[in-house]
Structure 1
Amino acid sequence: MSEISAGILLHRHGPSGRELLLVHPGGPFWARKDEAAWSIPKGLIDPNEALEAAARREFAEEVGTVPEGVLAPLGEFKLSSGKQLVVFALEGDFDPKTLISNSFEMEWPPRSGQRQSFPEVDRAGWFSLDAARTKLHLGQRALVDALLAHTGP
């Protein structure tokens, strides 16, 4: 059975139209990557955890705030990793300057025996729909169309 992740696609009406909140993964592997490197706040569900609860928990862990409001199901998406991603849409706002992410630890540099801590998410930003299609991981680009089908332009 494949792993299941849950996430929230936060969107708002910005100065140039609809915008999506995306997050950039922290750590040395992603430091110099931009195109196809961004994601929505998401993560693995815990055993027996409700999907909406997992999506809110993961958003809070990666962004630093628990999103308020009714979550609208956007569907399930298969990622290149084989994971299933269950996504909920939520209209709302967030100031990327207030980002507070949890961290993870890994051996770095490789085979050095030294462990370093890195933020799970190193930055967040609002992107137009066209920019989001470029920034998002390939497996998450379908989220833009799913949001448009749910909300309209």
Structure 2
Amino acid sequence: MAAHNKLGEGDKDTAGETFVTGRYQAIGADPAGEYPRTTLAAGAVVWRGERDNPTVAIIHRPHYDDWSLPKGKVDPGESLPVTAQREIQEETGFDITLGKLLGKVAYPVQGRTKVVYYWAARWEGGEFVPNEEVDEVRWVTFAEAARLLTYAVDAQVLDKARKRIKRAPTTRVLLVRHAHAHQRHNWHGDDDLRPLDKKGRRQAKLLATQLAAFGPTAVYAAPPQRCRQTAAPVSDLLGLPVQDFPELADSAFSSTPQTSLQVFNDIVAGGGTPVVVSQGETIRGVLEAINPGFLQREEADFKAKKGSVWVLSFQDGVLTGADYLASPLPVR
């Protein structure tokens, strides 16, 4: 949708935005490649309180004399979820956990296209200290934020966040396909012992920081070595043990799919934000079994690249949203 903006004094980079949103969202392996000469950024609508009556954080930037949502440019070596978490901490001092991906804003800036991805993010703690970028943070209602925000596109992002926060899930599953492993045709031993290769080890390390932005509460993995090796870095980072679930392996799913699906449903029923590291056919089977209508579109064709993450939101066992993160590797 097109967005028309009120420009703050001195702000020359907010014309011509478009905001793309929906219950299904995706970030491809090369988000910068969608536009020529792209500058990538990430931010969030940070909220606290009860989901039926939350307050949200808006920031005042003295350089532009505007009120906006916290966001910032990607640093080298980062994926977009990591950028969003870091930028919010730097601008506001807040610790947050990312929730639903809301969409993206794109607009021209001095011959380039700036693309900003936004999440809904829950405040977990921390206090604001004025800094060079931000001199004031206000916690306000959605109605107050809509009146105060300088740019119309921020109000659009805010409106999408209001709907998603109200439907905040009881469980958010981080469904991960194991990282890149040594090729099957080059491996002559037990296939379950086939390990990650150099690329896969890098993916697993970067997955840990990407997944940490969502506040995992447990880590589950299928038995193959490549699944456990993918789960290990996030387990080490967060101090969460890797729990073996043989029912989540492709071999188990192909022979007893209903048992595998029941195990997955039990994980969903357990609540929290569990990480589940599995294999391609099991992930495909799970996604097809939960059969959400909004994943039937052509662009949501049950992708599951190695090292990818499906962020699945459930409300009392019912899937309400899905985000596909194609890669944990740096976006530039």
Q: TM-score, normalised to structure 2's length?
A: 0.34
Give a deviation string over 1:70-117, Cα, whole Å, max 9, x none: 43211112357552210111122557xx31254xxxxxxxxxxxxxxx
Give a deviation string over 1:116-146, Cα, whole Å, max 9, x none: xxx2100001111111112222221111221
Answer yes or no: is the 8 Å Cα contact 1:5–1:45 preserved in 2.
yes
Q: Give the letter aligned to residue 72 of structure 1.
A: K
Quick one: percent identity of the two aligned structures? 25
Kindly indicate which of the two structures has a greater share of residues assigned to strand. Answer: 1
> Which structure carries more relative contact order (alpha carbon 8 Å, separation 6+)?
1
Q: 1:85 aligns with which of 116, 136, 152?
A: 116
Gap change, CA 1:70 and 1:141, over 3 Å in 2:
closer
Partner residue, 2:67: 38
Partner residue, 1:76: 104
Q: 1:149 aligns with which of 140, 163, 177?
A: 163
5 Å-filtered alignment, 1:18-37, equals 18-27=54-63, 29-30=64-65, 37=66
Q: Which runs of 4+ in 1 moved over 4 A?
A: 79-82
Offset at residue 44 of structure 1 (A): 0.6
Answer yes or no: is the 8 Å Cα contact 1:78–1:139 preserved in 2.
no
Give a deviation string over 1:8-32, Cα, whole Å, max 9, x none: 2111236x922111110024x51xx
Partner residue, 1:123: 136
Partner secondary structure for residue 38 of structure 2: coil
Partner residue, 1:113: none
Q: TM-score, normalised to structure 1's length?
A: 0.69
Gap change, CA 1:101 and 1:8, over 3 Å in 2:
farther
Offset at residue 150 of structure 1 (A): 1.7
Partner secondary structure for residue 46 of structure 1: coil
Q: 2: distance between equivalents of 1:56 and 1:6?
A: 9
Q: Give the letter aligned to residue 87 of structure 1.
A: Y
Offset at residue 149 of structure 1 (A): 2.9
Gap change, CA 1:39 and 1:128, over 3 Å in 2:
same
Q: Which runs of 5+ in 2 are unaligned?
A: 1-36, 168-332
Gap change, CA 1:91 and 1:125, over 3 Å in 2:
same
Gap change, CA 1:135 and 1:80, over 3 Å in 2:
farther
Q: 1: distance between equivalents of 2:122 and 2:90?
A: 19
Partner residue, 1:140: 154
Q: Which runs of 5+ in 1 are unaligned?
A: 31-36, 103-118
Matched, 1:6 2:34: no
Partner secondary structure for residue 38 of structure 1: strand
How many residues align structurally?
126
Kindly indicate which of the two structures has a greater share of residues assigned to helix. Answer: 2
Which has the greater radius of gyration? 2
Partner secondary structure for residue 130 of structure 1: helix
